[in-house]
Amino acid sequence: MTTSAGPHTRVMVELGDRSYPVDIGSGVRNSLNEVIAGLGAQRVAMVSARPDDWLPDPGVPSVVLRARDGETDKTLSTVEELCREFVRFGLTRSDAVVSCGGGTTTDVVGLAASLYHRGVPVVHLPTSLLAQVDASVGGKTAVNLPEGKNLVGAYWQPAAVLCDTDYLTTLPAREMLNGYGEIARCHFIGAGDLSGLTLSEQIAASVALKASVVSADERDSGLRHVLNYGHTLGHALEIATQFALRHGEGVAIGTVFAGRLALALGRIDEARAAEHLEVVRSYGLPYALPADVDPQRLIDVMRLDKKATDGLTFVLDGPGGPELVSGLAEETVAAALATMDREDRDTAKD
């Protein structure tokens, strides 16, 4: 359910007694004290990858713990360090944790909250476009292993998400583009054309789509797989480039590839495959494979994807919409990769 209250929009993630609001708009972070009061928390651990003046007053005694966004700190050791800080602060099961940062911070803090005392409430204040449209919503928390992305995690739904669009005004252009990778892939999983909407409307539409899917399939037993559109190759590109290619950029390229692979399998026609490229390019996103990435390396990494329970597995468009397609032959995937454009792109440049 989506409602509007003045300049703010509220999307409800409907999960029975675990339902929660996602508030979107300018200044919504300042309602944090109301959220904490509603939880009845007596103290709060605030884990932030942003300057202290980005943190609203939670209204109760709190401690600020420093975090860093980026894949380097998306590890189990970071989760352990946070949990030990929670102990030092005296955090109890009836208190709360708040994250303030991008997708890495959301994931790491969410996982720490899920494990500490077997679960304490967490409130997310996502500060990047990527985190606002995707990472902060849905309850998936995870960290990386050297072998792959998000291989260790848990489902832990937040108590609330406050997507303050004021945070986005400070982001560099490339970080905004990173978030648009997730918005672009929404075009192919039910959101339709979002390109003509305002930024707040694009965020709300993306969140509403994800909320509807999560409400129907919280734990990835079926429908929720569609949210991974473009992600199988996207994650592999992140790993193969040692994260020089950012998540949303990888998803954008992966979305183009999903169109090429679906075409090769006869699931969609040439026009629909071309639409994948057109949508990705319309947002100014990368669409070509980096020239120095070995396709075989990508295939090897994609075999380790969490969805790959039966060989190479992708979420692909088709006559009935997107669905999980398993057991694909390596030769088929390699041939589709060979149809992708190649670009010697400076992924380190902002």
104-148 pLDDT tens trace: 999 999 999 999 999 999 999 999 999 999 989 999 999 999 888
Residues in the chain: 350
What pLDDT score was predicted for residue 325?
94
Q: Where are the beta strands (DSSP E) in 6-107?
A: 8-13, 20-25, 44-48, 62-66, 96-101
Smallest Cα–Cα separation from 130: which of 199, 188, 178? Answer: 178
pLDDT digits (tens, 9 = 90+) for 47-77: 999 999 999 999 999 999 999 998 889 999 9
pLDDT digits (tens, 9 = 90+) for 11-57: 999 999 999 999 999 999 999 999 999 999 999 999 999 999 999 99
184 with 279: CB under 8 angstroms? yes
What pLDDT score was predicted for residue 70?
85
pLDDT digits (tens, 9 = 90+) for 71-96: 889 999 999 999 999 999 999 999 99
> What DSSP character marks residue 320?
T
What pLDDT score was predicted for residue 282?
95
308 with 249: CB under 8 angstroms? no
Q: Which residues contact 174 (CB under 8 A, 6 or more apart)?
A: 246, 349, 350
pLDDT of residue 348 exceeding 90: no
- How far apart CA 138 and CA 140 sit, in angstroms, is 6
- How far apart CA 210 and CA 190 sit, in angstroms, is 10
pLDDT of residue 167 exceeding 70: yes
What pLDDT score was predicted for residue 271?
97
> What DSSP character marks residue 311?
S
What pLDDT score was predicted for residue 50?
94
**Mean pLDDT, to the nearest integer, of 307-318?**
84
The residue that leads in pLDDT, 252 or 8, is: 252
Parallel/antiparallel/unpaired status of strands 20-25 and 8-13? antiparallel
User: What's the mean pLDDT when you consider all of the chain?
Assistant: 93
**Mean pLDDT, to the nearest integer, of 277-291?**
96
Identity (one letter) of the amino acid at 249? E
Q: Which residues contact 298 (CB under 8 A, 6 or more apart)?
A: 233, 236, 237, 240, 337
What pLDDT score was predicted for residue 192?
87
Determine the 3-state secondary structure of 309 from DSSP.
Answer: coil
pLDDT of residue 347 exceeding 60: no
pLDDT digits (tens, 9 = 90+) for 178-236: 999 999 999 999 998 998 899 999 999 999 999 999 999 888 777 888 999 999 999 99
Smallest Cα–Cα separation from 91: which of 34, 38, 46? Answer: 46
What pLDDT score was predicted for residue 4?
65
pLDDT of residue 350 exceeding 50: no
Q: Which residues contact 340 (CB under 8 A, 6 or more apart)?
A: 253, 256, 257, 260, 288, 289
| Residue 344 pLDDT grade (very low, low, confident, very high; cuts 50, 70, 90) | low
The total of other beta-carbon atoms located within 10 Å of residue 345's CB is 18
Q: What percent of the chain has pLDDT over 70?
A: 95
> What DSSP character marks residue 259?
H
Rounded to two decimals, the pTM is: 0.89
* Beta partners for residue 316, in sequence order: 323
* Cα 107–chain centre separation: 9
